[in-house]
Amino acid sequence: MTPELRARVRLTHPIHFLALGFGSGLAPKAPGTFGSLAAFPLIMLCGMVTLPAYITITVIACLLGIYICGKTAEDMQVHDHGAIVWDEIAGMLCVFIAIPLTWDTALLGFVLFRWLDIQKPLLIGWIDQRFTDGLGIMLDDIVAGLVACGLLHIMLYFI
């Protein structure tokens, strides 16, 4: 991130702090991957609550993310800058809806989500190209997370 761009965001600003994934989005390489990894402590904490509570937290993270990511992109004056990784965090929460968290599911869910988020096949790419602002930043990752979740459920059913 250029110094000029870095001057527009502050980790001391609560919205920027969340959008930048608690600072993980400032990684010089692969910020989306680091943002996805930063989701695991939150996923583990949320794994201690009931399924309805987990879903509620995930929905709130997704809805708030529209504002969080949109506001930070506006402040940065760059749409969907790589450092904005709240969308990855919310997407990762979607991946693990009703999935027991083990080393195997964590690794598989992470790889599936990152592949879908990077490659943006079919509907995910269509969404990424057509939506703007905070909704555009969030929606493709939410869909990628839900697709990864569905794939994980299918895999767990047949294994």
pLDDT averages per 10-residue partition of the chain, 159 residues: 84 96 95 97 96 98 98 93 97 97 97 97 94 95 98 94
116, 144 contact by CB (below 8 A): yes
pLDDT recorded at residue 159: 82
11, 17 contact by CB (below 8 A): yes
pLDDT recorded at residue 14: 97
131, 69 contact by CB (below 8 A): no
Distance CA 105, CA 112 (A): 10
**Cα 77 from chain centroid (whole Å):** 20
How many CA atoms lie within 13 Å of 121's alpha carbon, on the beta-carbon side? 8
Per-residue three-class SS string for the chain: CCHHHHCCCCCCCHHHHHHCHHHHHHCCCCHHHHHHHHHHHHHHHHCCCCHHHHHHHHHHHHHHHHHHHHHHHHHHCCCCCCCCCHHHHHHHHHHCCCCCCCHHHHHHHHHHHHHHHHHCCCHHHHHHHHCCHHHHHHHHHHHHHHHHHHHHHHHHHHC
- Does this model's pTM top 0.85? yes
